[in-house]
């Protein structure tokens, strides 16, 4: 019997949110249980629903995704967070991962990276789209137990 994983999708641009939601419907073990369009709403829904996975943009109105992730980590610590965003600088990637997120992928790569990111993060692994922190391949690593980000300069289990 398959385990159903609940997903909270947080994206302020409606057409992209609909695109990601449509892609997620192709995965039989994933169910989008709620959607939000700003950071404060994401925090409220995460507190209410405690979803298995939260897919969230960084550039959100009201409360940016990184600050929302920090709050969510306190209110729903078992929820795993994946950022999907246009932001590609290594500083933003590192800050996002230090907020408690396990995954980070670039919106232009959503069709390619969504499923590998979801699968890796649901297994407790970290996923970062290729090219975002100097790698040419998507980076998938086991996350250290102390929840520090597993970046290239940090020792990680592979």
C-alpha–C-alpha distance, residues 40 and 37, integer Å: 9
The number of folded domains in the chain is 1
Structural domain boundaries, residue 20: 5-142
Report the mean per-residue pLDDT for the chain. 85
147 domain-assigned: no
The CATH number assigned to the domain holding 38 equals 3.40.50.2300
Report the pLDDT averaged over residues 54-75: 96
Determine the pLDDT at residue 130.
79
Q: What are phi and psi of 111, to 5 degrees?
A: -60, -30
Residue-level pLDDT at 131: 66
d(Cα 81, Cα 65) in Å, to the nearest integer?
10
Per mean pLDDT, which range of 10-14, 66-70, 110-114, 143-147 is the poorest?
Answer: 143-147
Query: With bands split at pLDDT 50, 70 and 90, how would you rate the model's confidence at 90?
Result: confident
Question: Could you tell me which residues come within 8 angstroms of residue 23 by beta carbon, excluding any fewer than 6 positions away?
Answer: 110, 111, 114, 115
């Amino acid at each position: 019997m398959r385990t159903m994983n609940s997903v909270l999708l947080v994206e302020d641009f409606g057409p992209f949110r609909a695109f990601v939601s449509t892609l997620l419907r192709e995965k039989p073990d994933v169910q989008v249980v709620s959607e939000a369009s700003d950071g404060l709403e994401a925090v409220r829904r995460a507190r209410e629903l405690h979803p298995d996975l939260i897919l969230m943009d960084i550039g959100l109105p009201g409360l940016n995704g990184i600050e929302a992730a920090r709050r969510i980590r306190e209110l729903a610590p078992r929820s795993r967070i994946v950022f999907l965003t246009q932001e590609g600088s290594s500083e933003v990637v590192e800050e996002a991962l230090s907020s408690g997120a396990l995954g980070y992928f670039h919106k232009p790569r959503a069709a390619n990276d969504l499923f590998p990111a979801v699968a890796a993060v649901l297994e407790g692994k970290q996923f970062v789209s290729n090219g975002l922190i100097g790698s040419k391949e998507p980076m998938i690593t086991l996350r250290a137990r102390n929840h520090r980000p597993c970046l290239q300069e940090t020792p990680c289990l592979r």
